[in-house]
Amino acid sequence: MKIAVPKETKEREKRVALTPDVIRSLVKSGFECLVEKDAGLSSFFDDQSYISAGAKIITDRQSLYADADVVLKVNPPVPSEISFMKQGSVLISFMFAASNPELAEACAKQGISSFSVDAIPRISRAQKMDALSSQANLAGYKSVIVGANALGKIFPLLMTAAGTIKPSRVVIMGAGVAGLQAIATAKRLGAIVEVSDIRPETKEQVESLGGKFIELEGDASIKLEGGYVKNVSDDFLKKQQELISKHVAEADLVITTALIPGKKAPVLITEDMVKRMRMGSVIVDMAVEQGGNCTLSEVNKNVVKYGVTIIGEANLPSLMSLNASELYAKNISTFLLHLATKDGFKWEMEEEITKGSLITHQGKIVHPSVPKPVVA
């Protein structure tokens, strides 16, 4: 089978789907790898490193897609990319199909099968394929670094001849993969860390990393599925805002990580809460691309509101493109090798990982999370 790796075209994207080391392994397994010219340059992998690994460099983008049996990408493809793909070929990438049904429709219409790496079930045997976690881990680390860089003070306690500097206070909202890495990073830098999460079972993890858990009263509206929060009521969100408002007002840095798959991100920080924060404090809104946890954040912009810097970087993993690409390449290649051999796909339709991640197949949308098109 021919695997194609195109250059990512999304603005501010520096990652690449496969690295030379992973391509070398796939070539040894019998796959033919085609890489678009300069696809890995922003991740510090030049064309020669891919050639040395056994890949072929392709300069014409359309022929790259048209010749491929499998296309591996980081970001969801745009319509023109789908139109280049031959019928019966396979796409594997992030698709976020539940909130992007028109993409699934385009794939079905083109007659291509598509797998979404963000839909891979969160089960133990799929951990090596979990690209959401690998990228969120890096994003959690980087959120602290960019937040610290924008802050006009240091993180740790510092005793000097001129006086004592108090440690910075960091509030992290959400103790998922990104939040836990942010806790660990902020603690290593010497900050006082407080954490809120609507899942009480995260308390032990937070405290094991040295964070102080902000206790929230449970609510029957909270629905969990596969480790993700699937639903939470507006009334509960309001109670949560009231409880954490005092902690936010005293914080030097606030990092928000709350996402609900397929839905707009929940509002955790209101304009009124920002007004009560100290001048010079910083908010890093990791959910900005899905509407934001802070009402004042703007996608891919750093704005200052009421003396507070609000960082809306939508693609934190891309800021560490070398490591992000290395981890993603291992995730997606492990996923590919689970689904296929060099001779073709297995199409084990009732197998849990296949069934959970397959979005379109044989001209139809097959994943239950994708809204069906409305017929007039």
Tens of pLDDT along 64-115?
Answer: 999 999 999 999 999 999 999 999 999 999 999 988 999 999 999 999 999 9
Given 21, 49, 99, 122, the catalytic residue: 122
Res 230: pLDDT: 55
What are 340's strand-pairing partners?
Answer: 345
pLDDT surpassing 70 at residue 225: no
State how far the Cα of 349 lies from the Cα of 337, in Å rounded to an integer.
Answer: 16
Given 127, 208, 233, 362, the catalytic residue: 127
DSSP strand pairing (228-231 vs 223-225): antiparallel
Res 215: pLDDT: 85
Burial status of residue 215 (CB atoms within 10 A of its CB: 0-12, 13-18, 19 or more): exposed
122: annotated active-site residue: yes
Range 128-157 average pLDDT: 97
Angle between helices 131-150 and 177-188 (to 10 degrees): 40
pLDDT: which is higher, 268 or 376: 268
pLDDT band at 295 (very low <50, low <70, confident <90, very high): very high
Range 263-285 average pLDDT: 95
Share above pLDDT 90 across residues of the chain, in percent, rounded to a whole number? 86
Nearest to 237 by CA among 254, 251, 253, 217: 217
pLDDT surpassing 60 at residue 228: no
Res 221: pLDDT: 53
Q: Element (H or E) spanning 360, and its range?
A: strand 358-361
Nearest to 179 by CA among 143, 233, 216: 143
241: annotated active-site residue: no
Q: Element (H or E) spanning 358, and its range?
A: strand 358-361
113: annotated active-site residue: no
306: annotated active-site residue: no
pLDDT, tens digit (0-9, with 9 covering 90-100), for 33-71 = 999 999 999 999 999 999 999 999 999 999 999 999 999
Range 142-157 average pLDDT: 97
Given 67, 83, 228, 245, the catalytic residue: 228
Rounded to a whole number of angstroms, the distance between the first and last alpha carbons of the chain is 40
Length reported for the chain = 376
Res 376: pLDDT: 43
Given 133, 205, 240, 290, the catalytic residue: 133
pLDDT surpassing 60 at residue 227: no
Domains detected in the chain: 2-129+320-365 (3.40.50.720), 151-315 (3.40.50.720)
The CA distances from residue 116 to 113, 200, 223, 363, in Å, are 10, 30, 23, 16
Res 64: pLDDT: 98
272: annotated active-site residue: no
Range 169-178 average pLDDT: 96
The pLDDT mean for the chain works out to: 93
